Structure 1
Amino acid sequence: MQKAYVHSYFGGPEAEHFADLPIPAPGPGQLLLAVRAAGVNPVDWKRRSGRRPAGAPEVLLPAVMGGEAAGEVAALGPGVTGFAVGDAVLGGPSTGGYAQYTLLAADAAVRKPAEVSWTDAAVLPIAAATGYGAVRRLALPRGATLLITGVGGGVGVAAAQVAPHLGLSVVGSAAEGKRAAVEALGVVHVASGPGLAARVRAAAPAGIDGVLDLVGGQVLHEAAGLLADRERLVSGADRATVGALGGAPVGPVRDPRLLGAVVELVRTGVLDPMVTRVVPFARAAEAVRAVEGGHTLGKVVLEMPPPAGPPGVAAP
């Protein structure tokens, strides 16, 4: 058996608890991962509350929380080649990351270089890959100016570092309390809140060429009004509104090519995942509450205890 942090029904924080669950057996094309660290993201508590994207598979309860993890391969499913027990990998698990063991599709797994820590690796599959993919999708020319709303979170922090690497200038909105951290990334900070468009125009008098929205709602409406070309508008927070405004949601992040590129940026020092809080697994509720509060700067990570015991190894 293993320890996992689950939600047993859809609702608030009271739905969360630890559970003893069987260690899953890897099926064809799967890896069993002994989790060393798991990233904590807003989508984790949103799924717990019952939010589910259109077309997403039904969630079976109790459900292990967590959508990104890094760890060591503990067993191989039938037909898996190219990996060996003990390999260090990361990715988006199919059975939840808040557990001592989880399953990961082999074709979605990316190797973790020795230069990248477990805690850094664990926050790359969702936030960092989303930020990187969004900036690449906008395809702005060198010298252009990108506005990132909600720049202080995990996706925004990653995008704000990738953009200068591609020759872009960045203006970012965030709470006043995050100003110093945002400006340390080389971002021109503008305070969040009503009247955002006017403050952005003052900060970037030459205009905004692209927008990565991570807030949605009225903020997205204001940001869209700054653009001459709505094809340069993407949102990771409000799919319906961005479509109505002529933009597009950020693309899928479960792409090992994107994730592999992000890992390389971290390995070479171009991208700092900005892990600002590492929480022991035993205090998983504390980590989720920190992210659910919406004011966390950078990324929160769960650090896992040693594996529950040898699960056995399935032959390829």
Structure 2
Amino acid sequence: MTAFAVGDEVLGSSSTPSYAQFALADPAALVTRPADVSWEVAGSLAGAGGTAWKVLDLLGVATDETLLIHAAAGGVGVLAVQLAVARGVRVIGTASESNHELLRSLGAIPITYGDGLADRVRAVAPQGVDAVLDASGRGELPVSIELAGGPERVLTIAAFDAADHGIRFHVGGGGEDTVQAIQDILGLIKDGRLQVPIWRTYPLTEAAAALEASRAGHLGGKIVLLPA
């Protein structure tokens, strides 16, 4: 017996991650899709939302702390920004100039990435930052360690040389906390405190193009694959 019946609309994690029209899932890993949450948004919550929720938990960010997020306008970044803001955290987000207004609208302080990043961060956070989330993976780890005063509260989901810098590398999305993450995010959406910007959708047949767009960066929200 489960809480769901044939035809119920649900969202969550599948048992075997894949790009497919059909998937198997443990009912315990699913929640009911609210009628006012679109499928594009619903499809973004388990992966990007679960990851954003989990990494903030791992970093232990708390009210009145300052968090630096690299690639803050990307799929995970835009959700991590809003989840952190909801906790009362001051967020600084790196992004291209074209996405600065988006970050401001979400409650973050936007700065441009690239040469001189440390100086730009210190201009808005003279004492440095308490924690750093790297969702970019484009060489930001040394400056992140410098700004955070050490590697202990720096975490990456994108830099494969993390171990060389003594940094934690997180994979696995929200893990066993995915359902809790989804429920928390849905609550914030209902209260009007969180939005899920959809940068672009692709049909399933164009999954390779979607991955290439993701690797290229400069996104302004989430990329979503549609089944047809």
TM over 0.5, shorter chain: yes
2:168 equivalent to 1:248:
yes
Higher helix share: 2
Structure 1 position 128, deviation (Å): 1.6
Q: So what's the TM-score if we normalise by structure 1? A: 0.64
Q: Is the 8 A contact 1:152 1:178 kept in 2?
A: yes
Q: Is the 8 A contact 2:95 2:218 kept in 1?
A: no
2:4 equivalent to 1:83:
yes
2:77 equivalent to 1:163:
no
Equivalent residue of 1:167, what SS?
coil
CA-to-partner distance for each residue in 1:158-215, whole Å, 9 max, x for gaps? 0111111101111111122222222222211111112321221122113211111112
1:185 aligns to what?
106
1:277 aligns to what?
200
- Measured in 2, the distance between the counterparts of 1:285 and 1:246 equals 32
- Measured in 1, the distance between the counterparts of 2:42 and 2:62 equals 29
2:53 equivalent to 1:132:
yes
- Residue 226 (structure 2) aligned to one of 280, 303, 316: 303
Task: Answer with 1 or 2: which has the greater Rg.
Answer: 1
Report the residue type matching 2:84 in the other structure: A
CA-to-partner distance for each residue in 1:1-50, whole Å, 9 max, x for gaps? xxxxxxxxxxxxxxxxxxxxxxxxxxxxxxxxxxxxxxxxxxxxxxxxxx
- Residue 122 (structure 1) aligned to one of 37, 43, 50: 43
Q: Residues 144-155 of structure 1: matches in 2 within 5 Å?
A: 144-155=65-76
Report the residue type matching 1:161 in the other structure: Q
Higher strand share: 1
Q: 1:277 to 1:218 in 2, by over 3 A?
A: closer
- Measured in 2, the distance between the counterparts of 1:303 and 1:146 equals 33
Structure 1 position 115, deviation (Å): 2.5
2:213 aligns to what?
290
1:199 aligns to what?
120
Equivalent residue of 2:5, what SS?
coil
CA-to-partner distance for each residue in 1:95-132, whole Å, 9 max, x for gaps? 55533222222222222122211110001111121112
Q: So what's the TM-score if we normalise by structure 2? A: 0.86
Q: Is the 8 A contact 2:49 2:181 kept in 1?
A: no
Q: Residues 73-112 of structure 1: matches in 2 within 5 Å?
A: 81-112=2-33
Query: After the TM superposition, which of the residue ranges 262-271 and 150-159 deviates more from structure 2?
Result: 262-271
Structure 1 position 151, deviation (Å): 0.8
2:183 equivalent to 1:260:
yes
- Measured in 2, the distance between the counterparts of 1:240 and 1:286 equals 26
Identity of aligned residues (%): 37
- Measured in 2, the distance between the counterparts of 1:262 and 1:251 equals 20
- Measured in 1, the distance between the counterparts of 2:214 and 2:62 equals 34
Q: Is the 8 A contact 1:151 1:172 kept in 2?
A: yes
- Measured in 2, the distance between the counterparts of 1:304 and 1:140 equals 36
Structure 1: state its 5+ residue gaps: 1-79, 306-316
Kindly tell me the number of residue pairs found equivalent between the two proteins.
Answer: 225
Structure 1 position 258, deviation (Å): 2.3
Q: Is the 8 A contact 1:90 1:125 kept in 2?
A: yes
Structure 1 position 274, deviation (Å): 1.0
- Measured in 2, the distance between the counterparts of 1:282 and 1:229 equals 44
Structure 2: state its 5+ residue gaps: none
